[in-house]
Structure 1
């Protein structure tokens, strides 16, 4: 438990190492893109690019649902991907919707991206086999625990005990 007298509670973080680990792994994937001269590609774009390749043009709402992100978050990501030249948006069936589609630049590398995805998943499986408690199992166990008591309710309970929240 964090010391309530600490002037900076952010000095303690149980999951910061997980975020840093994921960032380091994403940096390794980005390095592979750099080595193949796939300029301007972020690992965080790949799922959406592969989804568009597999299913064709989608509205931002459809793509957001497909990758389990909010419309707002996906709209921002699509804007960044459009700026980098990976996707373009065209008018949809009505004036309110825009279809997201791959550019020729994206189509030229999508096979490599699919290969990288498969290799990454295989490397993760290999990594999980080397450790006593795989992260995928941790995630499933946490999801089960949260079914019994939500993260919101857990935090709210702790806040009810903290005079700093009152």
Structure 2
């Protein structure tokens, strides 16, 4: 039996995920230094969106931040546990409206300031490097419009005897 080589030992994009996690940790450190407890950086977009647009159903919030209903439902549960949102019955008994709590309303201006500062810091960072990540994303999206990621992977799998 041939020796199995763990393919997860190689990953082109794992460094990007690790970088994003480290940057989120730095943002989280800013919240802790400011005395904001229970807030994860991954909650901020939804909290700001709810502040700007008012209460929304989970479906509406998910669509507004381009996430799945399932992912947003889990995130809303975590934000509710942290005391940042509550849910109330929506227009029909099957839907729930997500509402900011007073705790969230107290910090929303600080979150908006952090968002603006983060975007400015990212712009500075991109100016220091030869090829901006935001441009790389646009370029990758354009390449995927020409041929989907699915089709690219399927082509590679067609040549792999382990896939057959």
TM-score by length of 1: 0.96
Within-5 A mapping of 1:77-156: 77-156=75-154
CA deviations on 1:63-106 (whole Å, 9 max, x unpaired) are 00000000111001001100111100000111101000000000
Residues 126, 6 of structure 1: alpha-carbon distance in 2 compared, 3 angstrom cutoff = farther
Name 1:41's counterpart in structure 2: 39
CA RMSD of aligned residues (A): 1.1
Matched, 1:10 2:8: yes
- 1:5 Cα offset (Å): 6.3
- 1:7 Cα offset (Å): 2.0
- 3-state SS of 1:88 partner: strand
- 3-state SS of 2:163 partner: coil
Structure 2, gaps ≥5 residues long: none
- In structure 2, distance between residues paired with 1:84 and 1:160: 47
- 3-state SS of 1:80 partner: helix
Residues 131, 101 of structure 1: alpha-carbon distance in 2 compared, 3 angstrom cutoff = same
The aligned length equals: 163
- 3-state SS of 1:14 partner: coil
Name 1:27's counterpart in structure 2: 25
- In structure 2, distance between residues paired with 1:149 and 1:5: 34
Residue of structure 1 aligned with 2:64, choices 58, 63, 66: 66
- 1:160 Cα offset (Å): 0.8
- In structure 1, distance between residues paired with 2:146 and 2:92: 43
Structure 1, gaps ≥5 residues long: none
- In structure 1, distance between residues paired with 2:119 and 2:64: 19
- 1:6 Cα offset (Å): 4.9
TM-score by length of 2: 0.97
